Amino acid sequence: MMTELEHDLRRLAPVSDPLPDVSEPAAAAQLLDVAYATLDSPLGRLLLATTPTGLARLAYLDYEGEDAVLEHLATTLSPRILAAPRRLDEPRRELDEYFAGARRSFEVPLDWRLTRGFARRVLQATAKIPFGATATYKQMAAEAGSPRASRAAGNALGSNPIPIVVPCHRILHSGGGLGGYTGGIERKRLLLGVEGYGGLKRPEAYSGLKQP
């Protein structure tokens, strides 16, 4: 999908360059609010979108669809959105390193504007869970200030706009069951496998959160 802004900029580009990189002039002219790029990963093709604040979106394209993701970004963040792969070099590099087993934490800044209220508190707490550890839905609800809101915490995790980087795959049921996952439970298994979870660790392995 080519966004309206991208279409207009490319229409004005020289004929000798049918597919110019318009992101830099657009940014210089303050016409670029959201930059996006795709990445082929072991979990399928991903779309990443960033703002001047930080990474705002990571989507599984076979699950959500590129057009739908871009339309949502245009309506919720800004219609001034362009394909600008170079602006996503850092998060794409960190993801490649993570999948290769060479990275245990992500360092890219995050833009939380696609979350709010209780859901944002749940996801911000989730972002603190380290590589190799897991927590429960009850723990996340407690950390967000509502110990009895496990179901609401599950809904917040299910709508996580930045999966993998905000590791909602590390949240399990109290008894050790995997629970759900946006993009399919098999992806959750694969992510936990990357982190060495073989069913031996207990969900309460991460003690940095409040206990319910």
Domain residue ranges in the chain:
4-99, 117-205
Around Cβ 155, how many Cβ atoms within 10 Å?
A: 14
* Predicted pLDDT of residue 198: 62
Regions of the chain short of the pLDDT cut 50: 9-20, 26, 28-29, 200-207, 210-212
Architecture category of domain 117-205 in CATH:
Orthogonal Bundle (1.10)
Catalytic residue positions, numbered: 168
Alpha carbon 22 to its chain centroid, in Å, reads 25
* Predicted pLDDT of residue 176: 74
- The answer to whether the pTM exceeds 0.75 is yes
The domain made up of 4-99 has a fold known as: Double Stranded RNA Binding Domain (3.30.160)
* Predicted pLDDT of residue 175: 79
* Predicted pLDDT of residue 46: 97
* Predicted pLDDT of residue 210: 46
Q: Which residues on adjacent β-strands are paired with residue 136?
A: 172
Around Cβ 105, how many Cβ atoms within 10 Å?
A: 11
Alpha carbon 41 to its chain centroid, in Å, reads 14
pLDDT tens for each residue of 55-110: 999 999 999 999 999 999 999 999 999 999 999 999 999 999 999 999 999 999 99
Range 62-67, long-range pairs (CB < 8 A, 24+ positions): 63/182, 63/183, 63/184, 66/1, 66/38, 67/1
Contact criterion met (CB below 8 Å) for 170 and 148: no
Contact criterion met (CB below 8 Å) for 4 and 50: no
